[in-house]
Structure formats: structure tokens, C-alpha cells
């Protein structure tokens, strides 16, 4: 096959075409991405159906690893089908190679991640949690007689985490629906939208549901051990789990993610800022804080460990798989240890007995 340039015909350099499509230069082209090129590119008189393209790619992917190397690419170019199909495949590959953005401007890996952004289905987990929290806040604000930036907390609510009623296990989750004023509520909701929606658009609703709840549960278990006499309200544990999930996402999809260094520094800025405020209030101001930093830290750790397990890994490597399982096992062990402390070793941590509370 030849292509025309300036009125002259020259042979196709298929190695050059391969290098153009393989924009990240690792010697491999993701088979699913190559499938998209074959189906999207304007072709000659022979249309390539999805079934035909799948069959061709499966035939040349000799090691079934989901990638097409140079040898397999040559096999695709010389696929032993009828000449019209072979010509259509070659035309599609040439158009794909010639239309690629230069590596210095945009890496192939960036496109892999960016193409996963889709609002179908639309994000539902983060909006649903935020709407529920707003509704609960309005209900108790009306019941207690007023809306304010730092309004009263409904200590008698069946949703609040009450350290004397630890046996009512749902409180380790339901406390996230209560907030100490609209400043507390809006800060959590706004942050959840900022950090949660981009994740949910790529990784879908059920993964964000697991992440958020993992942070909420981890936060309440840790806070009740570190500060055993304190009530707990707010969704900060879940929000910090979402922040940490971005770090897990960067770790898993580093080479596929655009602006990875920018994302990493932004996350580090948020974490370092929170730590600086904590140490300033604790050791410099020496003033008691109503903020549960233990819940923040535990939520962050939960989001990191669970995030590596449940978030989508767009290009799986062996070390990433090992890291995912190790992190998940660490999370399970931490949760199990916290539950054991609550049931059997509560006296050692100055916690209230779990089954001795009586309604007044």
C-alpha cells in the first residue's frame, strides 16, 4: 500500500505508523484503544463492523495480554482476509497514525484517562449524600429553633454518635448526616462535590459509595478510641476518604493520568494544611478543639487503602495488584482491631461500657 504526498506515491512505513499510534513509546498499543481507531476513522468503501474488528484483534493478539506489540501490529496490517477488508484496515491505521498529536503535546496515556470521563450514568452517590445531609440539617434546625453558622447539635438524635450508646451500631455511620451549623455542612458538601464528582464520573457510583462509607466508619471507630467521651457529627471522615482516594487514583493510574504531578501537589497541600492547623491549635494555642482530627486522619487512611482496592485501574501492573491487596488487608485488620477494642478492651481506653446505657 502507498500513500500520496505532494503528487508522489511512497510506500507506507508501518513501523512509523505504529510509533505514531504508540504515543507513550512503551512498544504496546492498548487493544481497546486500537479498536476505537478502527471503528471511528473514516474509511473507504468497506465499513468495518465491531464484530469484524474484534475478531481481527483477537486473532493477532497472540499472547492475549490486551495489547498489540509491533509484531502483532504487522500481523494486523497483513491480515489474511479479503483485499478490500485488508485495505480498509490499513487505511484506518494510516489515518489514526497521521492524526495523532505529537508526544510532546499530549501523551497517549492521557487520552486513556480522559476518555473515561462520562456522565452516563450520571453521578448519584455524592449528590445523594449531600442532599440527605442538607435535608437532615434543615429538619433539626427547624426542630431546635433556628439556622445558624454554628447552630445547636441535636444530642438526643438517633443519628448522632453517642459514646454512651456504642452498642447501637448504626450510629457509627448515621452521624455523618448531622452537622454543627451550616458552615460545617456547606464545607463538607462543597468539598465532597469538588473531590468526589471527578472520581465518580470516572469510577462510577458504587465505588464512591464504598469509599465514602469506609471513611465514615473508619473515622468514627478511630475518634471513639482516641476521644472516648466525645459525641461525633459530620461527614469529614467520608470527605477525607475521597481526598485520599485521589491519591490512590494517582498511584494506580499515574502513567494514564494527565497533570499527575499537579494533582499530587494539590493533595499534599490539603493534607499538610490540615496537619499544620492541627499542630498549631494543639501545641501552640493549646486550646481545646471541637474538630475531630482523629476522624480526619482515619478517614484519609481508609480512603487510601480502600481506594487502591476498589478504584478502576486502567492499566494493570503486577506491583499495583499486589499493592491493592496488601492495602485492603491492612484496612480490614485495622477495622477488626478497632471493633475488638470497642467490645473487649473498652476499659483500657476509658470508654463507656457498651450495654449499660439506660434512657432517662
Question: Could you give the residue numbers annotated as active site?
Answer: 236, 296
What is the separation, in whole angstroms, between the first and last Cα of the chain?
Answer: 88
Do the beta carbons of residue 205 and residue 124 sit within 8 Å?
yes
Max CA pair span of the chain: 95
User: Is the sign of the CA dihedral 245, 248, 249, 250 positive or negative?
Assistant: positive
Q: Which of 249, 286, 242 is nearest to 264 (CA)?
A: 249
Q: Which residues pair with 5 in a beta bridge?
A: 8
Cis peptide before 286 (omega within 30 of 0): no
Q: Which residues pair with 161 in a beta bridge?
A: 232
Alpha carbon 218 to its chain's center: 18
Distance CA(232)–CA(229), nearest Å, equals: 10
What is the DSSP code string of 116-175?
A: T---SSPP-HHHHHHHHHHHHHHHHHHHHT---TT----TT-SSSB-GGGTTSTTHHHHG
Distance CA(228)–CA(294), nearest Å, equals: 11
Do the beta carbons of residue 225 and residue 338 sit within 8 Å?
yes
Q: Which of 236, 234, 235, 239 is nearest to 195 (CA)?
A: 239
Alpha carbon 168 to its chain's center: 31
Amino acid at each position: 500500500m502507498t500513500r500520496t504526498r505532494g503528487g508522489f506515491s511512497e510506500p507506507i512505513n508501518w513501523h512509523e505508523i505504529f510509533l505514531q499510534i504508540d504515543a507513550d513509546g512503551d512498544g504496546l498499543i492498548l487493544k481497546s484503544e486500537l479498536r476505537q481507531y478502527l471503528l471511528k476513522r473514516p474509511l473507504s468503501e468497506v465499513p468495518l463492523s465491531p464484530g469484524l474488528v474484534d475478531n481481527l484483534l483477537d486473532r493477532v493478539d497472540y499472547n492475549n495480554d490486551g495489547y498489540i506489540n509491533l509484531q502483532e501490529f504487522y500481523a494486523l496490517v497483513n491480515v489474511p482476509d479479503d483485499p478490500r477488508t485488508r485495505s480498509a484496515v490499513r487505511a484506518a491505521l494510516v489515518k489514526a497514525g497521521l492524526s495523532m498529536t505529537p508526544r510532546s503535546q499530549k501523551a497517549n496515556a492521557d487520552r486513556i484517562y480522559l476518555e473515561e470521563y462520562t456522565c452516563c450514568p450520571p453521578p448519584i452517590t455524592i449528590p445523594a449524600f449531600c442532599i440527605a445531609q442538607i435535608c437532615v440539617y434543615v429538619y433539626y434546625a427547624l426542630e431546635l429553633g433556628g439556622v445558624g453558622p454554628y447552630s445547636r447539635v441535636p444530642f438526643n438524635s438517633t443519628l448522632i454518635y453517642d459514646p454512651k450508646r456504642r452498642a447501637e451500631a448504626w450510629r457509627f455511620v448515621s452521624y455523618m448526616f448531622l452537622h454543627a451549623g451550616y458552615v460545617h455542612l456547606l464545607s463538607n458538601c462543597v468539598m465532597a462535590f469538588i473531590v468526589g464528582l471527578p472520581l465518580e464520573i470516572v469510577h462510577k457510583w458504587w465505588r464512591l459509595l464504598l469509599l465514602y462509607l469506609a471513611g465514615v466508619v473508619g473515622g468514627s471507630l478511630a475518634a471513639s478510641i482516641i476521644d472516648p467521651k466525645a459525641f461525633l457529627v459530620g461527614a469529614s471522615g467520608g470527605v477525607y476518604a475521597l481526598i485520599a482516594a485521589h491519591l490512590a487514583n494517582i498511584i494506580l493510574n499515574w502513567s494514564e493520568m494527565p497533570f499527575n504531578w499537579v494533582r499530587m501537589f494539590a493533595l499534599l497541600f490539603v493534607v499538610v494544611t490540615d496537619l499544620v492547623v492541627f499542630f498549631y491549635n494543639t501545641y501552640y494555642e493549646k486550646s481545646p478543639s471541637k474538630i475531630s482530627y482523629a476522624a480526619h486522619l482515619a478517614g484519609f487512611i481508609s480512603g487510601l487503602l480502600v481506594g487502591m482496592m476498589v478504584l478502576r485501574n486502567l492499566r494493570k501492573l503486577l506491583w499495583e495488584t499486589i499493592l491493592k491487596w496488601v492495602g485492603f488487608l491492612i484496612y480490614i485488620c485495622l477495622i477488626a482491631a478497632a471493633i475488638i477494642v470497642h467490645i473487649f478492651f473498652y476499659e483500657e481506653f476509658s470508654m463507656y461500657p457498651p450495654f449499660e446505657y439506660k434512657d432517662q
